[in-house]
Structure 1
């Protein structure tokens, strides 16, 4: 049975969920974006239960955060052990072993352009948007360079600096000014959009599908390259729709940045920490960035962000140039170290690659018989599905209907872009749960599609 509470679709039984929703509305900010009436009670692996006892498979992972799933024993033990020693010391003023250990691991794991592991430095933040803020300050620390290039569809956070880079939805930016110094947004060369240019067309000659050509043709007429501090980009756009770029994009962009002394900053907050099948998604294109921003899955649910750069870049900072009271919190660092241990011991990168390829193949075959599906694309456990109406136009209402139906049938999903759903489960998702979840998703799509045809 389906019911509603304050406009949210609610799965029955739902008495306890109704109570949580009602109290939430009376106490918490209306700026949050809830999709349906799920109220969490507990979870394990890639399964989760609501306060009324209903079970769900999770294809959302707390917005791509729960990399090792709900309450992985290794991560819980690391958190507990550290919490029993001390919760906080303040890494800006005192020395602490856990952030050092984590930084040493990230030195080895995160590729930085033309930099050996021992020549990398790490700054710890509390979230993705804080990581972007730190990267912005670091990139603009260069004398005479303050301008930044970002991309339409990009999402980099909601604090004022990161928000100036964000261009995903106007609601996120409405009423807020850009940072001084200037930001120029350019088209993101999604391979799906470029493939739509038509049979026989050569997208390489069209600046819309060639970001570097767009910069050279348009941006450099307004801004000297000597004034540009950084290009900030998501290797795979997250909130913008789980969009994968053309394969020639990053090699060309790397060459352009090197030519003009511009720093390439990659936002791996959603795409990093193994979600794409590589630890950082940029590795799929064989190039490395100058500054890498991490968060989300790094702490398996504990709040932590990180910025990794070369000693040449980050070593310019002097004491007091940037800091954070809670950044590098020892409990969060312990969770992150345990997360990295789980990656190694359970072979999660190979697991994500294998099941991600399987998911892409299965959904692509399913799409052939379901015209409301426009695009299936992604890498690893970062796959986007776009929905269209009978005229082939983007259909956000259809997408929302599928999301709601999945929830009612026991599958948690989240939208992305204007008309898409993201496949972003915990990286520990088993093949058995994957098949069960895909069956629910496919059934929901077919059900909504049938309803659509009946009303037209």
Structure 2
């Protein structure tokens, strides 16, 4: 911790000094003042993972309103994957803003929307004919994927999985597994949504070696015997579950589910809202499993911080919806489309797929060296720059330990490292550093985590 005169940078982005500098208490007086104003102006249901208020963000740091420069292991929950205010993103947005900010694609279409669709059609797995429709949010994309699946198949049932998170709208909240805080008090829920077990290696009752086979058998029985395959429109799954705790399904599970769906005319929908767009070291997490989804949803990392989401899928499925049945006033906003084109360009020209893999190698290898004599580190998992640690009560006791997670987060924040939590039981630390983070900050952040765990 260093002591310097508190000053706030004029801008963020890649020009922001890439140093950790804790110059005031966290949260400092300005953050505390904003918290008081917030309490008077905002409803209590709007939570935040951190009590510090952002002033400028770029590279691998966030400068708060008190002048503290903190290492960012969150990327705005996997949104600023290419870095906050990345130059190509900002340049394309600025140019578009000078021409027009909105027309509504449903009223007066524009080229940027088509360019984003063409790019997603080309990048998503599979060489079949594809179409893309744009939306505003991840939940909006998932909800519209369900609409496409239902109209294309003439069926209504949707199958999702334990530990899933698909959004907060009425339908996607129903599809989400975790009750608190996402569902409590907000029912009744949407009909025709069914839940299957996830092949969660660490917590599979008979051991990780059995997770794929036994979870698939239970899934198949649910669809064939309880729902009826002929009634099932789609199976919706996150190739790596995000809010559920960065759960990487047991090897082979997703491929077996996808093959099962293909045999029965059920659409396989990959929810890549958090794992997609270079986060895992591939454009899409589905690629790691050799799966070609019928539909893919994307959002978070798609447009560098602008609200943009997409459904990309088989042309015959996407063309099944009647004209006027899909869309929205702001869906595919021209500035957000320009930002997405800047994101694609940045990933390709800066080699960020490899960078994501490199970041993941550092995180996984360093976390594995932490002192775990107490046994509280139950599992370390992830792919690319999407890594998590599951915290439990101790050696031989896999009881979730959210109190220890809260303590690690508290200590990390106090030392200038921003981290996020996840998990159905609130006992997972998740790490989502921006791919623009320099190596020295990545290692420094891991060092802070090491100290926080040692203090437990």
Normalised by the length of structure 2, the TM-score is: 0.90
Between the aligned partners of 1:237 and 1:298, the Cα distance in structure 2 is 18
- 1:133 CA displacement: 1.0
Q: Partner residue of 2:253?
A: 249
CA separation of 1:368 and 1:82: change in aligned 2, threshold 3 A: same
SS in 1 for 2:429: strand
Q: Partner residue of 1:6?
A: none
CA separation of 1:13 and 1:297: change in aligned 2, threshold 3 A: closer
- 1:253 CA displacement: 0.7
Q: Determine if contact 2:212/2:251 at 8 Å carries over to the other structure.
A: no
Q: Partner residue of 1:440?
A: 448
**Corresponding position: 1:326 with 2:330:** yes
Between the aligned partners of 2:118 and 2:220, the Cα distance in structure 1 is 38
Question: Which deviates more, 94-103 or 138-147?
Answer: 138-147
**Corresponding position: 1:174 with 2:180:** no
Picking from 38, 45, 48, the partner of 2:59 is 45
Question: Which deviates more, 121-130 or 392-401?
Answer: 392-401
Kindly report which structure 2 residues correspond to 1:116-195, keeping only aligned pairs within 5 A, or say none.
116=128, 119-142=129-152, 144-175=154-185, 176-180=187-191, 182-194=192-204
- 1:342 CA displacement: 0.4
Q: Determine if contact 1:266/1:291 at 8 Å carries over to the other structure.
A: yes
Q: Partner residue of 1:5?
A: none
In the TM superposition, what whole-angstrom CA distance separates every residue of 1:209-258 from its partner, at most 9, and x where no partner exists? x23x1122244322110100000000000000011001111110111001
Between the aligned partners of 1:274 and 1:214, the Cα distance in structure 2 is 32
Between the aligned partners of 2:172 and 2:195, the Cα distance in structure 1 is 13
Q: Partner residue of 1:374?
A: 378
Kindly report which structure 2 residues correspond to 1:55-454, keeping only aligned pairs within 5 A, or say none.
55-112=69-126, 115-116=127-128, 119-142=129-152, 144-175=154-185, 176-180=187-191, 182-194=192-204, 197-198=206-207, 202-203=210-211, 207=214, 210-211=215-216, 213-366=217-370, 368-369=372-373, 371-390=375-394, 391-417=397-423, 418=425, 419-447=427-455, 449=456
Question: Which deviates more, 394-403 or 29-38?
Answer: 29-38
- 1:202 CA displacement: 4.4
- 1:63 CA displacement: 0.7
Between the aligned partners of 2:236 and 2:339, the Cα distance in structure 1 is 28
List runs of 5+ in structure 1 lacking aligned partners.
2-9, 450-456
Q: Determine if contact 1:267/1:294 at 8 Å carries over to the other structure.
A: yes
Between the aligned partners of 2:445 and 2:333, the Cα distance in structure 1 is 35
Task: Report how many aligned residue pairs link the two structures.
Answer: 429
Between the aligned partners of 2:374 and 2:308, the Cα distance in structure 1 is 40
Q: Determine if contact 2:200/2:211 at 8 Å carries over to the other structure.
A: no
List runs of 5+ in structure 2 lacking aligned partners.
2-23
SS in 2 for 1:49: strand
Q: Determine if contact 1:370/1:446 at 8 Å carries over to the other structure.
A: no
SS in 1 for 2:390: strand
Between the aligned partners of 2:171 and 2:371, the Cα distance in structure 1 is 39
CA separation of 1:13 and 1:379: change in aligned 2, threshold 3 A: closer
- 1:108 CA displacement: 1.0
- 1:143 CA displacement: 5.2
In the TM superposition, what whole-angstrom CA distance separates every residue of 1:80-135 from its partner, at most 9, and x where no partner exists? 111111100110122201111111111111114xx43xx21110001101101110
Q: Determine if contact 2:212/2:252 at 8 Å carries over to the other structure.
A: no
CA separation of 1:265 and 1:13: change in aligned 2, threshold 3 A: closer
**Corresponding position: 1:32 with 2:46:** yes
Q: Determine if contact 2:276/2:285 at 8 Å carries over to the other structure.
A: yes
Between the aligned partners of 2:122 and 2:164, the Cα distance in structure 1 is 28
Q: Determine if contact 1:11/1:37 at 8 Å carries over to the other structure.
A: no
SS in 2 for 1:140: helix
- 1:389 CA displacement: 2.2
Between the aligned partners of 2:448 and 2:218, the Cα distance in structure 1 is 42
Q: Determine if contact 1:367/1:373 at 8 Å carries over to the other structure.
A: no
Q: Partner residue of 1:452?
A: none
Q: Determine if contact 1:148/1:184 at 8 Å carries over to the other structure.
A: yes
Question: Which deviates more, 36-45 or 304-313?
Answer: 36-45
CA separation of 1:202 and 1:293: change in aligned 2, threshold 3 A: closer
